[in-house]
């Protein structure tokens, strides 16, 4: 856990569903901020490991974890995983008390966000779609950026709690707006990483000292988070951290599906998605997204 300083907030009863590379440290920050946390994970051993590290409690079903909680957070894999922990006899909605809020940090479709928001409303619950940006290091350091969609009063109630693992938590519109904003984020990243990969590959072919070149152009108009943080490691052929190619392809699939619905033209995004498919074909499924440069070498 990082040395993050937590703003004083009233202690709440919360649940966290899904203890993957993002959820595990996010739930830890909630515990360190003073909230009473009950966790659930599909693999029980992971939940027991979290309890061994942080204390608090683990439950055997999402419904049991959500029972009595003021806020239920979730961070799972995709739309189907999300429905699996939310709906049904053992899903979180069946265990939540009236007026409680479900906050979904999964990167999922805007459609499933609207679907689950409507289902929550019928049960007297509240739902916020809240995908995150910042990767595993952002989760560990409590410095995620959270993009939210939902009703303003529900957002206001969860904002100070979510700040335990975030540097910014922003409401961007009605249900689905958070997921759509995350798609915008992934479109921007895909183009940036491909441009950086081409720049580095070009500089290598030209015989330049690319670490020195990146140090120079990073002080000018080419500067970006990707250049500062991934440029040097791309030069070193290091791709063992950050956000995996498999996950990026999942996200870009959501983007391209939404673009087909709304008529947006995304030629660069579609092309970069295919470049990531090339990286997968080379066995790079679990490499960081900056591994795009590998296919140019």
| Domain boundaries defined on the chain | 13-174, 180-296
Q: Mind listing the pLDDT tens digit for each residue in 143-185?
A: 999 999 999 999 999 999 999 999 999 999 999 999 999 999 9
CATH of 180-296, one of 2.40.37.10, 1.10.1040.10, 1.10.150.120, 3.40.50.720: 1.10.1040.10
Q: Quick check: is 182 catalytic? A: yes
pLDDT at 11: 95
CB 39 within 8 Å of CB 50: yes
Task: Compute the distance between CA of residue 103 and CA of residue 124 in angstroms, rounded to an integer.
Answer: 15
Task: Compute the distance between CA of residue 114 and CA of residue 174 in angstroms, rounded to an integer.
Answer: 9
pLDDT at 242: 74
Task: Kindly list the strands in the beta sheet with 144-148, ordered across the sheet, starting from the edge strand earlier in the chain.
Answer: 132-133, 144-148, 166-171
pLDDT at 1: 62
């350091």: which residue's tokens? 141
User: Which pTM value belongs to this model?
Assistant: 0.94
Please spell the DSSP secondary structure of 174-236, one letter per residue. Answer: STTHHHHHHHHHHHHHHHHHHHHHHHHHHHHHTT--HHHHHHHHTTTTT--HHHHHHHHHHHT
Q: What is the dihedral of CA 90, 248, 175, 73, to 10 degrees?
A: 40
**Residue of 46, 97, 182, 219 marked active site:** 182
Assign 190 a pLDDT band (cuts: 50, 70, 90): very high
Residue 18, Ramachandran bin (φ over 0: left; ψ between -120 and 50: alpha; else beta): left
In this predicted structure, the answer to whether residue 41 has a pLDDT above a threshold of 70 is: yes
Task: Compute the distance between CA of residue 35 and CA of residue 29 in angstroms, rounded to an integer.
Answer: 9
Fold type of domain 13-174: Rossmann fold (3.40.50)
Select from 176, 158, 174 the least CA-distant residue to 166: 158
180-296 and 13-174 share a CATH fold? no
Query: How large is the average pLDDT for residues 202-228?
Result: 97
Query: How large is the average pLDDT for residues 117-146?
Result: 97
Q: What is the DSSP letter of 288?
A: B
Query: How large is the average pLDDT for residues 210-235?
Result: 97
């Amino acid at each position: 856990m990082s040395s993050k300083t937590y703003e004083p907030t009233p202690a709440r009863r919360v649940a966290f569903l899904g203890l993957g590379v993002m959820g595990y440290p996010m739930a830890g920050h909630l515990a360190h901020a003073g909230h009473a946390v009950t966790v659930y994970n599909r693999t029980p051993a992971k939940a027991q490991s979290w309890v061994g590290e942080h204390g608090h409690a683990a439950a055997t079903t999402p419904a049991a974890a959500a029972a009595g909680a003021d806020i239920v957070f979730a961070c799972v894999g995709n739309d189907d995983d999300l429905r699996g922990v939310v709906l049904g006899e053992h899903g979180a909605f069946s265990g939540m008390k009236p007026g409680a809020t479900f906050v979904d940090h999964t990167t999922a479709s805007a459609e499933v966000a609207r679907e689950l928001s409507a289902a929550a409303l019928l049960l007297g619950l509240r739902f916020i779609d809240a995908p995150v940006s910042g990767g595993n290091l952002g989760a560990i350091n409590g410095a995620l950026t959270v993009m939210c969609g939902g009703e303003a009063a529900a957002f206001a109630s969860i904002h100070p709690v979510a700040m335990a693992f975030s540097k910014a938590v922003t409401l961007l519109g009605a249900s689905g707006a958070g997921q759509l904003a995350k798609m915008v984020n992934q479109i921007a990243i895909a183009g940036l990483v491909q441009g950086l990969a081409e720049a580095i590959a070009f500089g290598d072919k030209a015989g330049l000292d690319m670490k020195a070149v990146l140090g120079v152009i990073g002080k000018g108009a080419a500067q970006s988070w990707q250049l500062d943080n991934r440029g040097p490691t791309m030069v070193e052929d290091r791709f063992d951290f950050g956000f995996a190619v498999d996950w990026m392809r999942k996200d870009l699939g959501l983007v391209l599906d939404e673009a087909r619905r709304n008529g947006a033209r995304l030629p660069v995004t579609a092309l970069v998605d295919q470049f990531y498919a090339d990286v997968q074909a080379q066995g790079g499924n679990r490499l960081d997204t900056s591994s795009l440069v590998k296919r140019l070498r």
